[in-house]
Amino acid sequence: MHNPVLVLPPGRSSADLWSEIVAGDEEQERLPQQPGPGGQAIYRRRKQEKVGKQNAATGKSVVHVARVSLAANGKRVSWNRSLSTRGRTSIAVTACVHHRPEQKHARRKAKPPLPKAKVMHSFEKERSYFQEVDAFELLEESPSPKKSGTWVVGNQTDSFVIPHLSSRLEKWLISKKLNHGCGPSSTLSKILETPAMFSGAKLETPSGSLLQNNSSMCPSLICKNDLERHVHSQLIKLELKDEDLEEAVRKLSLASTCDTSEGDNWNPFTALLAVCGQTAPSNFVDVFSKFCAPSDIIKIGEGTFGEAFKAGNYVCKVVPIDGDLRVNGEVQKRSEELLEEAVLSQTLNRLREGKDDACNACTTFIQTIDLKVCQGTYDVELIRAWEDWDEKNGSENDHPKEFPEKQCYVVFVLEHGGKDLESFVLLNFDEARSLLVQVAAALAVAEAAYEFEHRDLHWGNILLSRNDSRMLNFMLEGKHVNVKTFGLCISIIDFTLSRINTGQDILFLDLSSDPYLFKGPKGDKQSETYRKMKEVTEDYWEGSFPKTNVLWLVYLVDILLLKKSFERSSKDERELRSLKKRLDKYGSTKEAIFDPFFADLLVESAV
């Protein structure tokens, strides 16, 4: 900072001026100070003198005077003011003083950013890469194995979906399309390879000749061999190209829906006739007269898709198929559905003698005595039996007289298994235990032999009767075991929703196509069991999930606890509840059958 410089008027010396200033200061010090408005002096000269060194030029001392503050009081300038003037030239300037703001230091320069590498896209390389990928044909699995089990080759746009009934013709077609060099399959229709059940049946082969069935060759086996020769000859005659192959096979396939009058063209209805040992549909009189007089026919039950009549010592279940008329509000079942149920029923028949698997056998599944396809209206005696039932019990089904003359039916002739669990009266806890152990044993045997799952084992599909037998023998994986029955005989019926692996085909009903099945009332044990099955299978009904059999055992325990009345103690109820909890841990009835609850009911035998 520069010291102030005094400019002297003309005719006066600096010594005179300084003497006047000093005299004025002494006089000011003797006077009292005048207080300001706040009781403080506004101005007060501070007497501070410093004698500096003598001026080299004049030889006199130079006095430095302290600067006078112009601030009205001693308060600090507010921070706002300080912030608002920061970095600028100060506007508070003392007389004869020039204030210079503090110079900002230059910021340190940051390091320059690294230069980004420029990516040069080579579109030619990219194009050649994808062309190479596209040219390489891969077997790509379809996104969802639950919906189809097909494979697609390369850029092929056609999708081939295996039909609901896994036909050997369709499978052969897919393999033919994937491998053009493969020859025809030697097992085009093994689904028809069913047990030799019905003796004396005559079957017309595709060549037109009649063959007599004997004990060593069933009609279905005859049909299989002739069907293969017939299909192969037709394919050779047509000299098919690849683009015509699918259409031709579809006409010959078991899953075809073409009309039955088209000569040699095969369809589910024709296959169903072959399984039943028929060349054409029969009428009701011919079928029922084999077992009883028409006047002795009695209706004993009904279901959504059919009626049950008693004919002598047998029960005839009549199911309408392939018609346009709705049955009790539901669409009629198709031939392919009944074909599966027919084959499944006959397969379970083999467990009675252990034919397919000598390690597993039981007699709990209802025996199918005969199968027939009928056509026409209900017979007069059937109408009479139906109306008698309606008068006594109040039928919930539509009157059968509404069926047209061309309506077709499948008649299952079954052994008489007794009353269903809903109407049967259990006497005591031992009979309840016998019910559970017989059902569990039968399911375990069928699981071991055929990966069987019933999937609809409600109390209307279990028949009960009493006899003099106290023990029942079954064989599970080579072990002969006797079950205590306490005189109770159990029969399992209705395999409409069931799943089975026959060794050549997996037969099942895709329940994902029937969403209403899973929308039953909450809290209803049967509806809850359907929903639990859906969770277990994840809506993939073709797969093997033996846990579903365990779910129906749990359902039966609930029925015994909640819906059935019989003599029992509180200890018996605790045992049932404990069994229910333990069943949740089992993954199959093969495991559940060895639960402690059944321990004293099973007796292993050497024979």
Q: What is the pLDDT of residues 159-206, one digit of tens each?
A: 434 344 444 445 444 444 444 443 333 333 333 333 333 333 333 333
The residues, any chain, with a CB within 8 Å of residue 94's CB and separated by 6 or more, are 67, 68, 69, 70
**CATH code that applies to domain 268-356+367-416:** 3.30.200.20
Q: Do domains 268-356+367-416 and 417-606 have the same CATH topology?
A: no
226, 379, 456, 572: which one is catalytic?
A: 456
Angle subtended at Cα 309 by Cα 395 and Cα 347, rounded to the nearest 5 degrees: 120
**Range 16-25 average pLDDT:** 66
Q: Is 480 helix (H, G, I), strand (E, B) or coil?
A: strand
What is the pLDDT at residue 131?
75
What is the pLDDT at residue 17?
62
Alpha helices in 194-241 (DSSP H): 219-238
What are the C-alpha distances in Å from 544 to residues 228, 452, 454, 455, 492? 29, 8, 11, 11, 20
The residues, any chain, with a CB within 8 Å of residue 485's CB and separated by 6 or more, are 434, 438, 469, 470, 471, 472
Picking from 94, 503, 507, 175, the residue whose alpha carbon sits closest to that of residue 338 is 507
List beta partners, residue 319.
410
pLDDT digits (tens, 9 = 90+) for 286-316: 999 999 998 999 999 888 889 999 999 999 9
> What is the rounded distance in angstroms from the CA atom of residue 561 to the CA atom of residue 333?
35
What are the C-alpha distances in Å from 252 to residues 168, 234, 235, 247, 266? 11, 9, 10, 9, 5
Residue 245 C-beta-side C-alpha neighbours within 13 Å = 18
Angle subtended at Cα 84 by Cα 79 and Cα 89, rounded to the nearest 5 degrees: 115
By mean pLDDT, which of 41-55, 148-162, 228-242, 343-357 is the weakest?
148-162
- DSSP for residue 498: -
CATH superfamily, with its number, for domain 417-606: Transferase(Phosphotransferase) domain 1 (1.10.510.10)
Q: Give yes or no: 456 in active site.
A: yes
What is the pLDDT at residue 412?
96
Report which secondary-structure segment, H or E, holds 140. Answer: strand 139-141
With a cut of 90, say whether residue 449 has pLDDT above it.
yes
What are the C-alpha distances in Å from 382 to residues 392, 408, 414? 16, 15, 17
Calculate the CA dihedral of residues 374, 376, 381, 382 and round it to 10 degrees.
70
Calculate the CA dihedral of residues 338, 343, 348, 351 and round it to 10 degrees.
170
Domain locations along the chain? 268-356+367-416, 417-606
Neighbours of 341 (CB within 10 A): 23
- DSSP for residue 40: S
Please give the model's pTM, rounded to 2 decimal places. Answer: 0.59
